[in-house]
């Protein structure tokens, strides 16, 4: 997508210019993985125009392949961002109707070719929210990946303002999530999509009780028995600039919790969940058999993302591992 953001903390009604960058759920994950040294490819549908070409060039700059990109349609999707401050929350306005990706259909992408020499396929709940044909295309990809033995992960990423084509997330998502090995969500996703929620949790208190999410993870795994791991990000919102941040991972036997981070001066929280997912995928691939370390890597990586403007998490493995070791001083590296 094209991201158009007001400068600084200006409101839409104040801004006389908008800062243009690119981003989007799956693309953000791909950039993280490429930064960590893994081969990553982004699959989507874009129009053949200069704006889409600029998007592709941006992905290439960050090491992400677009070899199997599908071209067609008239426009790229856009979202407008107004960054909040203190007690005023951020706002997002979507302009994605009739975008090229919303008009993608099964059969357009040769998934057999895409998945050659592939070990992992990731999708988010944002894509099937765009249209029935987009949801059908995601289902097509999942079915091919399942048949080929490829690990499939999803970030539930519920966006109420995108589900406008006559179907609800509760109707569409179960059939897609049932094909997933790894499921990620935040404190709202499981509730809003599947009606599964923790009891007695108030994220606006600034603290989130990790133990309260074990029942959520258990219920998710019971509903989707293919899943080997269910992960929940834990964000405590003190205000728009100050959050606490952690996560839990349930492997069907044990609930693991990552360290807590106190993020006192948020630069940009958009893409925080995607940076978590990118870190988690890297961790599960790079630290086989050590889910705790993979979870810790994901939380540390996404903590650092909150200090970076834009959708992409532009950090290295060394920077993440330094934070995991407790070096959050921010001292100048010389």
- Asked if pLDDT for residue 83 goes beyond 60, the answer is yes
pLDDT of residue 211: 79
pLDDT of residue 131: 98
pLDDT tens track for 1-55: 999 999 999 999 999 999 999 999 999 999 999 999 999 999 999 999 999 999 9
Distance, in Å, from the CA atom of 272 to the CA atom of 71, rounded to the nearest integer, reads: 29
Whether 80 is in a domain gets the answer: no
- Asked if pLDDT for residue 331 goes beyond 70, the answer is no
Whether 162 is in a domain gets the answer: yes
Distance, in Å, from the CA atom of 220 to the CA atom of 290, rounded to the nearest integer, reads: 22
- DSSP calls for 243-288: EEEEEEEE-SS-EEEPPPEEE-S-S--TTHHHHHHHHHHHHHHHST
pLDDT tens track for 64-81: 999 999 999 999 999 999
Query: What Rg do the C-alpha atoms of the chain give, in angstroms?
Result: 19
- Name the percent of the chain lying above pLDDT 90: 91
pLDDT of residue 195: 93
Distance, in Å, from the CA atom of 214 to the CA atom of 128, rounded to the nearest integer, reads: 27
Whether 289 is in a domain gets the answer: yes
pLDDT band (50, 70, 90) for residue 187:
confident
Whether 295 is in a domain gets the answer: yes
Whether 302 is in a domain gets the answer: yes
Whether 65 is in a domain gets the answer: no
The count of domains in the chain is 1
User: Helix 25-35 crosses helix 272-286 at what angle (to 10 degrees)?
Assistant: 40
pLDDT tens track for 207-220: 667 778 899 999 99
Whether 175 is in a domain gets the answer: yes
Structural element, H or E, at residue 30: helix 25-35
pLDDT tens track for 125-160: 999 999 999 999 999 999 999 999 999 999 999 999
- Asked if pLDDT for residue 200 goes beyond 80, the answer is no
pTM: predicted TM-score of the whole model, two decimal places: 0.95
Give the CATH number of the domain where residue 156 resides: 3.40.1190.20
- Asked if pLDDT for residue 334 goes beyond 50, the answer is no
Whether 206 is in a domain gets the answer: yes
Cβ count near 23 (within 10 Å): 20
Mean pLDDT of 237-258: 96
Residue range(s) defining the domain that contains residue 310: 30-41+107-324
């Amino acid at each position: 997508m094209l991201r158009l953001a007001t400068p600084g903390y200006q409101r839409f009604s104040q801004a006389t210019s908008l800062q243009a960058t690119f981003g989007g759920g799956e693309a953000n994950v791909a950039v993280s993985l490429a930064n960590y040294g893994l081969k990553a490819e982004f699959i989507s549908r874009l129009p053949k125009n200069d704006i889409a070409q600029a998007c592709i060039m941006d992905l290439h700059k960050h090491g992400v392949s677009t070899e199997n990109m599908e071209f067609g349609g008239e426009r790229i999707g856009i979202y407008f961002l107004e960054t909040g401050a203190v007690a005023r929350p951020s706002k997002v306005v979507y302009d994605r109707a009739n975008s090229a990706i919303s008009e993608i259909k099964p059969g357009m992408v040769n998934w057999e070719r895409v998945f050659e020499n592939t070990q992992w396929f990731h999708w988010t709940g944002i894509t099937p929210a765009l249209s029935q044909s987009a949801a059908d295309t995601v289902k097509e990809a999942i079915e091919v990946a399942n048949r080929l033995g490829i690990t499939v992960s999803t970030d539930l990423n519920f966006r109420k303002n995108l589900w406008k084509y006559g179907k609800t997330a509760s109707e569409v998502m179960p059939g897609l999530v049932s094909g997933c090995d790894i499921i990620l969500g935040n404190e709202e996703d499981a509730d809003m999509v599947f009606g599964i929620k923790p009891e007695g949790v108030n994220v606006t208190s600034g603290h989130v009780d990790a133990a309260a999410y074990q029942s959520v993870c258990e219920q998710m795994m019971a509903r989707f028995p293919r899943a080997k791991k269910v992960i929940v990000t834990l964000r405590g919102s003190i205000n728009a600039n100050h959050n606490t941040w952690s996560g839990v991972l349930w492997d069907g036997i044990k609930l693991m919790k990552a360290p807590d981070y106190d993020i006192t001066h948020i630069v940009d929280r958009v893409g925080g969940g995607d940076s978590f997912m990118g870190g988690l995928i890297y961790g599960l691939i790079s630290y086989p058999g050590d889910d705790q370390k993979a979870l810790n890597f994901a939380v540390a990586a996404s903590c650092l993302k909150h200090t970076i403007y834009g959708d992409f998490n532009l950090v290295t493995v060394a920077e993440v591992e330094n934070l995991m070791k407790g070096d959050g001083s921010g001292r100048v590296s010389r």
